[in-house]
Amino acid sequence: MRLLILGTGGMADKHASSFKAIEGVSVVGGVDIVPERLAAFCSLHGIPNHFGSLEEALAWGEFDAVANVTPDRVHHPTTLQAIAAGKHVFCEKPLATDAVKAMEMTEAMEKSGKVGMVNFTYRNSPALQKGRQMVLAGEIGAVRHVEASHLQSWLVGKAWGDWKTESKWLWRLSKKHGSNGALGDIGIHIVDFTSYGSGLDVAHVFGRLKTFTKAPGDKIDEYDLDANDSFTMNVDFTSGAIGTIQATRTAAGQLDQLRLRVYGETGSIEMIYDTGKSTLRACLGDDVHTATWRDIPFDPVETNYQRFVQAVRAGKTQEPSFRRAANIQKVLDKALASDLSHRDEQVA
């Protein structure tokens, strides 16, 4: 499989190294509007062909699939271009900045017959995969209550750099630069993590978003700091279970932690991804009576990158698909609407 990487900032290094490690995959081209960044990226990863625009790359055309690692607002137009050119697409999350655009991309991809998948990176957690299996196998009985959180701290610490001086962080705080804030950036991860791990779909959401003052005039250079920094959701699931989902970029002491607890009628399961480390714990059987939690072993799992390559070779999309990402985007859109309306919103 010949792969083109579209966008060479941020996550692009992870895409390049992950795909190159898969036997039979060649990263044959890179695309970026910033020449210096493109040259450095292609030199680092030994990529032979450089393009200043997707149009140039499509005119060349000597590739089978695109890894779309552009900023969120660029996913929609560029993915549609790639689909129209008959390419498979592996898109970074979120698929689009709203559900209408995401569904347009989904329908175009499904009509094309090509493979379209979305990089929900935390699906790569073996604890999540094993925990989901246990829930679906009925090991905790019918699910009644769910609690989930995605905690980061880059607004209060410098472990990943100084957000006040680096564009790769500042754009994530600015609506006009295409950001939907914590809701759009990590909210899509924790909603997918929650829904996937619990085996449940969200039916209603009551959301609250908060943007904190972080600089004089809420502005740094060209960036208006107006995108949300934290959110909470109260949700009903289609099964009748209820739960809470929250995320923030202001959780000192947490670099990147996703935690999901699923409480059932006969037991509970906790799935944790914490800055690269996965943990799975459960309270089952007689342990329920003593509130004893035990670690659960799990095996390694295939990554999204590996599943995408397998899907292209087989000619059949695997999960997480465009449609899955579009449905998760509906939940985020309703959380935003709920924050504005102060009402519960139904996820259609």
Over range 82-108, report the average pLDDT. Answer: 97
Q: Which domains does the chain have, with CATH numbers?
A: 2-118 (3.40.50.720), 122-346 (3.30.360.10)
∠ at Cα 169 (42, 22), nearest 5°? 35
pLDDT in tens, 32-72: 999 999 999 999 999 999 999 999 999 999 999 999 999 88
- Rounded alpha-carbon distances, angstroms, from residue 81 to 26, 90, 215, 297: 22, 13, 38, 44
Residue 220, both tokens: 């740094």
Task: Please tell me the distance from the alpha carbon of residue 233 to that of residue 343, in angstroms, as a whole number.
Answer: 12
pLDDT band, very low/low/confident/very high, at 324 (cuts 50, 70, 90): very high
Model-level pTM? 0.94
Q: For the chain, what is the mean pLDDT? A: 96
7 — alpha (psi -120 to 50), left (phi > 0) or beta? left
The answer to whether 131 and 344 have CB atoms below 8 angstroms apart is no
Q: Looking at the predicted structure, is the pLDDT value of residue 108 above 90?
A: yes
pLDDT band, very low/low/confident/very high, at 85 (cuts 50, 70, 90): very high
Residues pairing with 117 in the sheet:
90, 321
Peptide bond into 71 cis (omega under 30): no
Task: Please tell me the distance from the alpha carbon of residue 242 to that of residue 144, in angstroms, as a whole number.
Answer: 7
pLDDT in tens, 215-252: 999 999 999 999 999 999 999 999 999 999 999 999 99
